[in-house]
Amino acid sequence: MYSYDQVLTDVRQVYEQLNGVKAPKIDPRSPRFPLPKGVDPVSLVQNEINYLNLFLLNSGMSGRLSKVPTWMPNSEVFETPKEYVIDLELAGVSKDDVQVQHFNNLLVIRGARRFQRKSDDAVYHGSDRVYGTFERQYPLPAYLEPDRLRTSWNDGVLELRIPKSGTPEKPEEDEKTGKRPAAGTAKS
């Protein structure tokens, strides 16, 4: 059964995703707006849930609020004689909101683009941007060395470079080009 605590938790998450700010704390034991006498709280909450579900479905927002990946960034995958390269277009995504993992010759890149209100008095008339979580998976050829993966972030593009087996490591190359590893990068 769907509990009242779960309803409050879900409502807080939706509020934060839609508004880009923390939801105000609510104490259910001392409500600011008590229900009128004779109103069944269970049916009132269920009606509100039904109304919210209909609104989210009709507005197309339900897909954007889902916890499963809701969009897939565009990418380019290519090889040079020494490296395997993956470029992902992640405009509007913070480095801290991206994770890179590899295991069993599979590279997994996960993250989220979060909605942030430009200002408190901004009135939005439309948006074509997609917000929410994403995930991309890339099977890696056996001749790569994923433990030596290097990342860089440039103009909203995450670049991953994986050396081929037998190529010498060049850690000083990142320092020369001024590229830094993407924050939130992890290996497993």
pLDDT digits (tens, 9 = 90+) for 81-103: 999 999 999 998 989 999 999 98
Q: What is the pLDDT of residue 63?
A: 55
Q: CB neighbours of 116 closer than 8 A, spacing ≥ 6?
A: 20
Per residue, what are the HEC states of 112-165?
A: EECCCCCCCCCCCCCCCCCCEEEEEEEECCCCECHHHCEEEEECCEEEEEEEEC
pLDDT digits (tens, 9 = 90+) for 4-59: 666 677 777 777 777 777 877 777 677 666 677 787 777 777 777 777 777 766 66
Report how far residue 181's alpha carbon sits from residue 152's, in angstroms, rounded to the nearest whole number.
5
* Number of neighbours of residue 69 by Cβ within 10 angstroms: 14
Tokens of 19: 């508004």
pLDDT digits (tens, 9 = 90+) for 114-146: 887 788 788 888 778 888 888 899 999 999 999
Report how far residue 16's alpha carbon sits from residue 12's, in angstroms, rounded to the nearest whole number.
6
Q: What is the pLDDT of residue 2?
A: 55
Q: Residue 170 pLDDT more than 70?
A: no
Q: What is the pLDDT of residue 176?
A: 42
Share of the chain above pLDDT 70, in %: 72
Q: What is the pLDDT of residue 101?
A: 93
Q: What is the pLDDT of residue 131?
A: 81
> Is-contact 160 150, C-beta < 8 A?
yes
Q: What is the pLDDT of residue 68?
A: 64
Tokens of 107: 């590279």
